[in-house]
Amino acid sequence: MKRSTLIQRCYYNDPNLALQASLVATGGDTKLPKHFLEGFSRTARQSFDYMGRAEFEFGALGLALRPLIEAHHHELIFRQIHIHPSSIRSTVHHDDELRARAPHVTTQDVYYLCLKDQAIQVKERLLLLARNDRTKNSDVSLQEPIHLSKTLKYVHDPKHVRTYETWIEMDNGYIFTTSLPVSRFLVAYFDPTNDLLDPRVVP
């Protein structure tokens, strides 16, 4: 796989506002299929965040996801990873306070959709990003922060409002999310027959 440098952040939004917010953030035209964009906005309730770089705008998302969107469902794979917060890099100095507020911390699930021939490498890449999404090496060197580590670290903190739920990796064209509703939308969109759906993964 190519080195990951561009990952689009997506956030939960009002379904009546989500589409317009996405178009504003991406320069007015994502070059994504209309039915995908509308479903992502209104069903999954996700908006593309403004990333502040031209590399994310003016059709770049559509180009990045074209292999995924044009693939037949048997060429795709949908899976999840269980990640325990103890494996995630701390970005603040109040972990003791967090544990006191959320003493029964469980694993956090990350769902991902990619081409089958990328599955093993995507899983490894996501585990790397979950541990520390600020890392820079031969596999990852992000131009903009994605805040995945923080999202996973504080998902069980009752005082933390989770901002980001879904991410689109643009160098290799795959999608990952911490949201069960988004994962259900992805399965329904990319495989209406539900051949992708492992009942153990998405109940």
Please say whether the beta carbons of 152 and 159 come within 8 A: no
pLDDT of 66 over the 90 cut? yes
Q: Which whole number is the average pLDDT over 114-138?
A: 91
Q: Map residue 10 onto helix, strand or coil.
A: strand
pLDDT of 86 over the 70 cut? no
Q: Which whole number is the average pLDDT over 147-172?
A: 77
pLDDT of 196 over the 90 cut? no
Q: What angle do CA 167, 173, 179 make, to 5 degrees?
A: 30
Number of other residues whose CB lies within 10 A of the CB of residue 190:
19
- Write the DSSP assignment of 33-44 as a string of letters: -HHHHHHHHHTS
What share of the chain in percent tops pLDDT 90?
A: 60
Please say whether the beta carbons of 18 and 42 come within 8 A: yes
Helix 180-190 and helix 34-42, axial crossing angle in degrees, nearest 10: 160
Of 42, 50, 33, 34, the closest CA to residue 13 belongs to: 42
Which residues, including other chains, have CB under 8 Å from residue 190's CB and lie 6 or more apart? 68, 69, 73, 76, 78, 113, 196
Residues 102-124: tens digit of each pLDDT = 444 456 889 999 999 999 999 99
**Tokens 């539900």 belong to which residue?**
194
Confidence of residue 85 (pLDDT cuts 50, 70, 90): low
CA 15 → CA 145, 196, 197, distances in Å?
A: 25, 26, 25
Confidence of residue 134 (pLDDT cuts 50, 70, 90): confident
Please say whether the beta carbons of 38 and 46 come within 8 A: no
**What are the sequence ranges of the domains in the chain?**
7-190
Helix 18-25 and helix 34-42, axial crossing angle in degrees, nearest 10: 120
